[in-house]
Every structure is written in C-alpha cells, then in structure tokens.
Amino acid sequence: MASIIREPLMQFLTLAALVFMLDAWLGSSSASAPHTNQAGTTILLSEQRLEQFKADYEQRHGQPPPPETMAQFEQNWVREEILYARGLALGLAEHDPVIRERIIKKTQLLYAGSETATTPEDTVLQQFLSSQAERYELPARYSFNLIPLNPQQHPTQTVPALLAQLNDGRAPESVIPLHFEQQAAPAVTARWGPALLGQLEQSQVNGPWHQVSVRQGPALVRLTDYQPPRLPELNQIRSRLLVDWSRQQRIRAIDERLAQLQSEYEIRWVE
C-alpha cells in the first residue's frame, strides 16, 4: 500500500487537488479556508476528481483501483486539505517568495484561461502574421559562384588579372567555381563570415565577379540569384502562429483584468 502512495500519479493528483483548492481560495473574497464551509469544519471533496483518479489508475494499471487504494487516496487527500487549510489560516503563505510566485502564476492562468479556449479563424491568424511581420519574416536567400583562392597558385598580385578574365568571360580552365544554391543569409554568415554576405548584398544578379575575404581565406564571388525576405504562407507556420497568438491573448487578458482590479485598490508607499 505504501508503494501506491509513493507513485508519481498519486502524488500528482494530490498536488492537483491542492492547486484546485488554491484557485478557489484566490477567487473567493471570504477569509475562510478553501473547500471548507464558513466555520471551517467541513472539507469538500470533488466527485469529479475521484472519477478522474479512477480513470487514470485504470489506464495506467489496466484495471479499476481496488477499494483499499481508493480509501487510501481519499484519506491522504483529506489530510492534505486539512493541513493546507490550516496553513492558510495560520498565515504560513505570507511572506514566502515561493508561495507568492506560485499564487501569482496560478492567478495569471485563472484570468487567462478563457481567452485561449477557442481556435482563431484563418483571417485572424493572417492579420496576426502581418502585424508581426519582422518576427516571422523568412531571410533573404542567395545563389552564387565562389572561387577559393590558393595563395600559392594565385598570389595577391595576380588576382586583378584573374578578375578581369572572369568578367570578360575568359575563365582559365584551371579555375572551377563552386556553386551554392539558395543559401539563407544567416547560413552564409555562419559558414563564410559577414564579409561574404555584405558583398552579396551589394552585388547585382549575374553581375561582375568580386574579390572578398571569407572565413576560409581570400576568394572571388559572383551573385547568380537573389530572393528577398518574405513572409511564409499561413499553412507553413500555422502551429507556431497558434502558440504565439494564444500567448498574446493570455497576456492581453491578464493586462485587461489587472487594469480592472487595480481600480479597486489604493496603492501607497510605506516605510
């Protein structure tokens, strides 16, 4: 029996019961302990929570919980509720930063929960995407030819002549450019360094060759194609948009609720 009580599921459900009580306490203007009557002499247990425990137990173990397991669960739940209620009544939650932070987080969830229950229409998501364009914008992409220069084969003084040959369409047979297709701007910087990206940004498509210093050494580069930054299609990032939109709605709901509540309080500085 003791092993059942130590199971993570049992511990989780006990903690969930405490959280549920905390929500009720936060939403009540009464000074009485959560899930008790006004006199503090009645502990109220949720049948729904018990049924949820039964369902979770059966899913985990393949059979309904035996009577002694249910009895032990109820006994532990009652003990925890009594201790929690008495702790609140004794003021043990006051001036405790951990409990304070937990209560703040739970209150935020309480006020934000109803704002994320529905799935927004595509038009709403599209408006959200457009309003956050810089956040979701896909980076520019570059296609280019690159010729790494070996200082032994191409000393510095020979580079201008090689550039002239390349720009006249008379590339030496010994020079074979490497071609890179649709490289995103961050990838260009990560692989070759910011100097190459800077040169590509200044170059014209199918324009002249340019000398540039990349991370691996001196090189020649020629831009062959360019795709400017763009917003992705809605279906490409729908899941991400739903998460971010829901987060924004939660924050907005909390801010609006706090604005309403703040008018009910007098704010004063004390020494």
* Domain ranges, ordered by start, for the chain: 2-94, 108-136+234-271, 138-227
CA dihedral (189, 193, 194, 196) positive or negative? negative
Question: 3-class secondary structure for 167-205?
Answer: HCCCCCCCCCCEEEEEEEHHHHHHHHCHHHHHHHHHCCC
Rounded-to-integer distance, Cα 250 and Cα 244, Å: 10
Write down the residue that tokens 């030496």 correspond to: 172
Query: What pLDDT shows up at residue 145?
Result: 96
Query: What pLDDT shows up at residue 114?
Result: 58
Query: What pLDDT shows up at residue 169?
Result: 84
Rounded-to-integer distance, Cα 244 and Cα 131, Å: 12
Which one is the CATH code of 138-227: 3.40.50, 1.10.3470, 3.10.50, 2.40.160?
3.10.50
Q: Give residue-wise pLDDT tens across range 253-270.
A: 888 888 888 788 777 777
Low-confidence ranges of the chain (pLDDT < 70): 1-41, 113-117, 271
- Given a contact cutoff of 8 angstroms between Cβ atoms, the answer to whether 136 and 231 are in contact is yes
Reported pTM = 0.54
Q: Which residues pair with 145 in a beta bridge?
A: 179, 222
